[in-house]
């Protein structure tokens, strides 16, 4: 009886082990072959809602008249945002991971922990002949946009950051920051240098059609006005203009668009400010998604460098039919932030991952 009882157990155990081995092997093979199986995009649009956590995204659901564009995405992941120096990142280190794939110290603009410049996605793609663009509702020297074209040890060195613009290879700039070009402490006229490098310079209003040359659009001395101050449709319209221009490049393009002032509303603990900026950003997502749907070769990624304000959509006391936006800090928080993706390669952005992976996933899809 003992022998008869022993052999069925042995056979059953062997069956389990064999099945387990096959299961692991299939899983490993699926992972290893996934990149070649995924359709790769020709173009990538990266939209960064600075300071935008899940509660900020939820704002679009409750405060937008109509369906938010956030709901058009079918792939959603979560990004861990700590920097190399701090559990809670700032925007400079937070954007540097998107532009270079490396975590660094708070305040760093596309340099590593030893302040050595790191090659950015914009620089690498420009060398390969792809078109590139940078748009922000801040100044172009602010931490996030700067991290895509400059290399300095401190985000506060606005004039130093600006010196990188003429030789950046970026085909389309739009945002604020005019004074750092033409009203500098060192007396240099960087607008003249931009012009000498072949840029068309626009400082009055957003044009209706793009130039055939590289162009830089500077519509404010520093940051752009708030939505409440009459900024209007600058962000969605600048995005439309950039897409019309960059999509003419047969090799493809990379465009970074930042809703900068979602973060500023969070720092101010000003819910009305934050909500207006978030809804403007959601409208801009619609422009990107509409283009991608028609184009068929464009991946749209939406994420944040970090969350700002510890923002929540809490009930107003015991009234569960009334939302009362609230904040827990005037600074940043360490919460994970969402990553939305739609288009060829979107499946790469499922799951929970380090913020650096966004760069690496983009570069993999671009064929490195």
Residues identified as active-site: 91
* Phi, psi angles (nearest 5°) of residue 294: -75, -35
Q: DSSP letter for 105, please.
A: -
Classified as helix, coil or strand, 111 is strand
Q: Which string of b and e fits 184-222 if b means at least 16 CB within 10 Å?
A: eeeeeebbebbeeeebebbeeeeeeebbeebbbbbbbee
**CA distance readout (Å), 238 to 131, 173, 340, 353:** 16, 9, 21, 31
What are the start-end ranges of the H helices in the chain? 2-37, 54-63, 91-100, 121-127, 143-146, 158-162, 179-182, 190-196, 234-246, 261-267, 271-295, 356-365
* Cα 24 from Cα 178, distance rounded (Å): 57
Q: Give the contacts of 45 (CB within 8 A, at least 6 positions apart).
A: 243, 255, 257, 288, 291, 292, 298, 299, 300, 301
Provide the CA 305 distance to its chain's centre, in angstroms: 7
Which two structure tokens, joined as six digits, stand for 15?
């069956």
Tell me if 104 sits within 8 A of 361, measured CB to CB. Answer: no
112, two tokens: 């590593």
Burial environment of residue 114 by CB neighbours within 10 A (0 to 12, 13 to 18, 19 or more): exposed
């Amino acid at each position: 009886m003992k022998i008869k009882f022993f052999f069925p157990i042995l056979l059953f155990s062997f069956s389990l082990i064999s099945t387990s081995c096959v299961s692991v092997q299939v899983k490993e093979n699926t992972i290893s072959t996934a990149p070649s199986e995924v359709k790769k995009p020709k173009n990538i649009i990266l939209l960064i809602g600075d300071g935008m956590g899940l509660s900020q995204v939820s704002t679009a659901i409750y405060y937008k008249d109509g369906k938010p564009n956030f709901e058009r995405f079918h792939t959603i992941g979560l990004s861990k945002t700590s920097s190399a120096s701090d559990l809670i990142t700032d925007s400079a280190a937070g954007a540097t991971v998107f532009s270079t794939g490396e975590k660094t110290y708070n305040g760093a603009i596309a340099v590593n922990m030893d302040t050595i410049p790191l090659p950015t996605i914009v620089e690498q793609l420009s060398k390969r002949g792809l078109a590139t663009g940078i748009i922000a509702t801040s100044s172009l020297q602010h931490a996030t946009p700067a991290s895509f074209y400059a290399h300095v040890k401190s985000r506060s060195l606005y004039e130093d950051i600006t010196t990188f613009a003429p030789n950046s290879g970026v085909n389309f700039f739009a945002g604020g920051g005019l004074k750092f070009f033409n009203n500098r402490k060192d007396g240099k006229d960087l607008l003249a240098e931009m012009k000498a490098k072949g840029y068309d310079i626009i400082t009055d209003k957003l044009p209706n059609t793009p130039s055939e040359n590289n162009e830089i659009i500077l519509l404010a001395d520093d940051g752009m006005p708030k939505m409440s101050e009459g900024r209007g449709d600058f962000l969605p319209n600048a995005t439309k203009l950039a897409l019309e221009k960059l999509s003419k490049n047969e090799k493809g393009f990379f465009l970074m668009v930042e809703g900068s002032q979602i973060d500023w509303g969070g720092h101010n603990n000003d819910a009305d400010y934050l909500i207006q900026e978030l809804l403007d950003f959601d409208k801009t997502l619609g422009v990107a998604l509409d283009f991608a749907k028609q184009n068929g070769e464009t991946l749209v990624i939406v994420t944040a460098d970090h969350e700002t304000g510890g923002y929540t959509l809490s009930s107003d006391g015991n009234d569960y039919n009334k939302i009362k936006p609230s904040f827990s800090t005037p600074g940043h928080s360490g919460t994970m932030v969402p990553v939305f993706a739609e288009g060829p390669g979107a499946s790469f952005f499922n799951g929970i991952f380090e913020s650096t992976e966004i760069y690496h996933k983009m570069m993999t899809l671009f064929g490195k």
